[in-house]
């Protein structure tokens, strides 16, 4: 299944997720007016999420581990918001 | 430490973004000096944030019809319409060690120069985290920052005289959203130097901001180096390319 949805974070930025999924994430693109340091970190997060099962704790763990491993800083978006968005889109 | 200041000039969007990136690379390679520059965009252009989609953010057909160029920046943030006569853009580029380590703190420090300059012109501007400057609750300036190879690049726009109808004909919003109601609502959220005080000229805005960015710093007015000019030529091709502009 393929879905696109926009989210606005309270006191944060606007982001959009393009999600292709079955019982797991087949492909994901995260777009928006947020900031990520270093910029290449966004592709790392997207790559890390491919093949992840659609479970809140699994998704958040993968994102948080990727942030830590690659010293990525998110501004205006966070792992909780991305996780919640993916779960909502899969329901 | 000596800061190089580049003369205010108008360039195409491709040249403007290539210059910022070439200076960043030069500083990273220790062949360029930390730099402050103010510039304009000619022809007018739309720049989108690093993580946005060109097709979703920009009305490409209207841009082509109105001779408005479009490109993707290397910095995050949102889509900006750079009106050739309606805004002033700045860049400040230097080694990360010259700025606060925290990204939010460095936004605050650099945006502080803009706030100071606008305040001196009698505009009651204040910093609105993460990256905006507002007058009351209306946005007058937005900035975006990249950090790569220990170099900080921050650039941003100061709205001098906005043309909201043109802005919304090149930014991709639905027909429903461009109704009079929407334009009224944008006017309630965005302001410009001219809206605040019609007496302020573009030249006085530039001089005041140049002053607030450079005071307390040792500065030399300079030009791009040969190495930078060579790199600018290469980078222009990147900024013109579909591969870069449409990659997300």
Query: Domains in chain A and their CATH numbers?
Result: 2-90 (3.30.390.50)
Residue A11: CA count within 13 A, CB half-sphere: 3
Min Cα separation A23/chain B (Å): 25
What order do you get walking across the sheet with B151-159 strand by strand?
A: B125-128, B132-135, B138-148, B151-159, B87-95, B35-41, B2-11, B218-222
Examine the pLDDT at B176 and tell me if it is beyond 60. no
- Cα diameter, chain A: 32
Examine the pLDDT at B71 and tell me if it is beyond 90. yes
Summary mean pLDDT of chain B: 95
Residue spans per domain, chain B: 2-245
Contact by Cβ (8 Å): B97, B210: no
Min Cα separation A76/chain B (Å): 8
Question: Are B147 and A38 inside 8 Å of each other by CB?
Answer: yes
Residue B65: CA count within 13 A, CB half-sphere: 8
Q: Is B124 an active-site residue?
A: yes
Q: Return the pLDDT at A8.
A: 84
Mean pLDDT for the stretch of residues B83-101 = 97
Q: Return the pLDDT at B173.
A: 72
Chain B hits for A13, CB-CB cut-off 8 Å, are 78
Give the separation between CA B179 and CA B165, rounded to whole angstroms. 10
Q: Return the pLDDT at B179.
A: 64
Strand partners, B47: B71, B80
Examine the pLDDT at B108 and tell me if it is beyond 80. yes
Q: What is the pLDDT of residues A8-64, one digit of tens each?
A: 887 778 899 999 999 999 999 999 999 999 999 999 999 999 999 999 999 999 999
| DSSP assignments along B131-194, one per residue | TEEEETTEEEEEEEEEEETTEEEEEEEEESS--HHHHHHHB---TTTTSHHHHHHHHHHB--HH
pLDDT band at B168 (very low <50, low <70, confident <90, very high): confident
Q: Return the pLDDT at B165.
A: 87
ipTM score for this prediction? 0.94
Residue in B with minimal Cα distance to A15: B52
Percentage above 90 pLDDT, chain B: 89
Give the separation between CA B233 and CA B224, rounded to whole angstroms. 12
pLDDT band at B164 (very low <50, low <70, confident <90, very high): confident
Query: What CATH topology corresponds to B2-245?
Result: BirA Bifunctional Protein; domain 2 (3.30.930)
Q: Return the pLDDT at A9.
A: 82
Chain A hits for B73, CB-CB cut-off 8 Å, are none
């Amino acid at each position: 299944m393929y879905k696109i949805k926009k989210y606005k974070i309270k006191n944060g930025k606007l982001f959009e997720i393009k999600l292709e999924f079955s019982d797991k994430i087949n492909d994901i693109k995260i777009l928006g007016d947020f900031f990520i340091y270093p910029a290449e970190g966004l592709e790392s997060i997207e790559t890390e999420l491919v093949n992840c099962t659609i479970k809140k704790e699994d998704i958040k763990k993968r994102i948080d581990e990727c942030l830590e491993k690659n010293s990525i800083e998110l501004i205006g978006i966070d792992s909780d918001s991305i996780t919640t968005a993916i779960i909502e889109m899969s329901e | 430490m000596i800061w190089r200041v580049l003369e205010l000039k108008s360039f195409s969007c491709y040249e403007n973004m290539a210059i910022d990136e070439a200076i960043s690379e030069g500083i990273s390679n220790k062949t360029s000096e930390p730099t402050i520059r103010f510039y304009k965009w000619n022809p007018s252009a739309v720049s989108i944030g690093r993580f946005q989609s060109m097709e979703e953010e920009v009305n490409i057909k209207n841009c082509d019809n109105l001779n408005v160029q479009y490109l993707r920046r290397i910095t995050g943030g949102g889509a900006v319409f750079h009106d050739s006569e309606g805004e002033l853009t700045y860049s400040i580029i230097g080694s990360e060690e010259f700025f606060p380590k925290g990204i939010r703190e460095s936004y605050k420090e650099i945006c502080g120069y803009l706030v100071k300059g606008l305040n001196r012109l009698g505009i009651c501007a204040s910093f609105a985290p993460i990256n905006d400057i507002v007058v009351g609750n209306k946005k007058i300036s937005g900035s975006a920052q990249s950090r790569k190879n220990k170099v900080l690049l921050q650039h941003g726009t100061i709205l001098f005289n906005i043309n909201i109808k043109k802005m919304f004909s090149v930014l991709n919003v639905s027909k429903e959203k461009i109704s009079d109601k929407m334009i009224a609502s944008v006017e309630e959220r965005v302001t410009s130097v001219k809206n605040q005080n019609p007496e302020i000229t573009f030249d006085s805005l530039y001089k005041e901001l140049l002053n607030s960015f450079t005071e307390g710093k040792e500065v030399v007015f300079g030009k791009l180096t040969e190495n930078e000019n060579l790199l600018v030529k290469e980078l222009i091709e990147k900024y013109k390319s579909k591969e870069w502009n449409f990659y997300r």
